[in-house]
Chains A and B, each alone.
Chain A
Amino acid sequence: MDDNQNQRDVSRICVLAGQMLLQHGAESTLVADITRRLAYALGMAQVELSLSANAMVLTTIENDHCITTARQCPDRGINMRVVTDIQHICIMAERGVLDRQGVKTKLDALTPERYNRWLVLVVIGLSCAAFSRLAGGDLAVFLLTFLASCCGMFVRQEIAHRHFNPLLNFGATAFVTTAVSAQAILFDIGNEPFLAMASSVLMLVPGFPLINAVSDMVKGHINMGLARWVMASLLTLSTCLGIILAMNIFQVWPWLI
């Protein structure tokens, strides 16, 4: 009976680690790898894992006895610090530094703490401004891009904070960003006003999901890759709807030339 309890605890710990990895944007190979290694490190004889877009199923086998458990994995936003910390916990368990209780304590202590939002806002503004400079814009374009993407980032953070659907968030953010940067065209600011419009919405490109999607598919997790690819495409599409709405209001159509 005691053995059974051990297996149950290990299954719960491992599925928690896998769930957190999947929620925070780790690629499928990494989720499967870390979950398996953690379970083997904590003494399971065999581990099987099945991933889908918003849930995972884990089976552990010990003494010919199976335990299967499923967890929902709703998206919590990309967070590489959580992924790194879980990887460290896994390595410590493998080296025998942490036992079952130690892993559980460490996992429970993980918080999805993020960087200061104002720091992120300013740096993302600078990033989009750097994009405009890379594309050949002058100082006026640089400044307007910075302003537009700072406004956009503010809206994005406010909406995300209130737990709205990400698709809605991206559309609204794109609308605000384009509404600000379209002034470049209306007032003919800078050498190439369109660059301000194009660069300021680049913060909404879902780069991480796209790259994860392709690497998942290459490494054999076709269904996960497709799910991520579709989500990234939908985010891009809703961004474009926001851009088009703003272009309709200000009656400028630089994107179509």
Chain B
Amino acid sequence: MADLATIVRFLMALLEQGALAMIPAVGFALVFNVPAKALKYCAVAGGLGMMVRFSALQQGISIELASFMAASTVGFLGIYWSKRLLAHPKVFTVAAVIPMVPGVFAFKSMIALVELNQRGFSTELFTVLVDNLLKAFFITGGLALGLALPGLLFYRRKSVI
């Protein structure tokens, strides 16, 4: 059945994305000096977030909205763990969304900015600058808003822990 093959291929790709995203989540958690017992939560949240984003992208949802959905999943998960481990949710969640931070967009736009100065104005360079800058801006905004969502919706006037 062709449908089944498509689903299996999708699931394999999904698992691969999740597994690969766990590595940078833990890697950056080490740079941020996250306590050792919280590392496995960073890995799980990182993998899950990437899987949510991958599924959303496959459905044709834009990358900004997909990042927002993934980050809010990670954000709610972070609240749940935060109560159990008595640590601020940002301890787990920021490392988990690091694999989704739009680094390549940010670098492309900044490099175009420097080259606009070096080579003089050209429409191509300016297009690269503006396109990538806006993408980086909105994806970062989506990620940060997604992480802040539980606080904005449910913890308006009280602390999580």
Contacts and interface: CB of A to CB of B under 8 A. Distances in A.
Interface of A: 25-27, 30, 33, 37, 78-84, 87-88, 91, 112, 114-115, 119-120, 123-124, 126-131, 133-134, 198, 201-202, 205, 207-208, 210-215, 218-219, 236-237, 239-241, 243-244, 255-256
B138 to A, nearest CB: 11
B65 interface: no
26 contacts: A25-B32, A78-B32, A80-B32, A80-B34, A80-B90, A83-B88, A84-B38, A84-B88, A87-B87, A91-B161, A123-B23, A124-B31, A127-B28, A130-B23, A131-B99, A198-B107, A202-B103, A202-B104, A205-B107, A214-B140, A218-B148, A240-B113, A255-B108, A255-B111, A256-B125, A256-B128
Given A219-B151, A236-B106, A237-B110, A214 B141 contact: yes
Contact of A244 (B115, B125, B145, B161): B115
Interface residues of B, number: 50
B90 A207 contact: no
Given A124-B27, A202-B104, A240-B107, A88 B152 contact: no
A130 B32 contact: no
B140 A87 contact: no
A201 B143 CA distance: 21
Top 8 A-B residue pairs of the complex, sorted by shortest distance between their CB atoms: A127-B27, A214-B144, A205-B103, A127-B24, A240-B110, A130-B23, A207-B101, A123-B27
Contact of B91 (A80, A123, A201): A80
**Secondary structure class of chain B's binding surface, majority of residues:** helix
Interface in B124-155: 125, 128, 140-141, 143-145, 147-148, 151-152
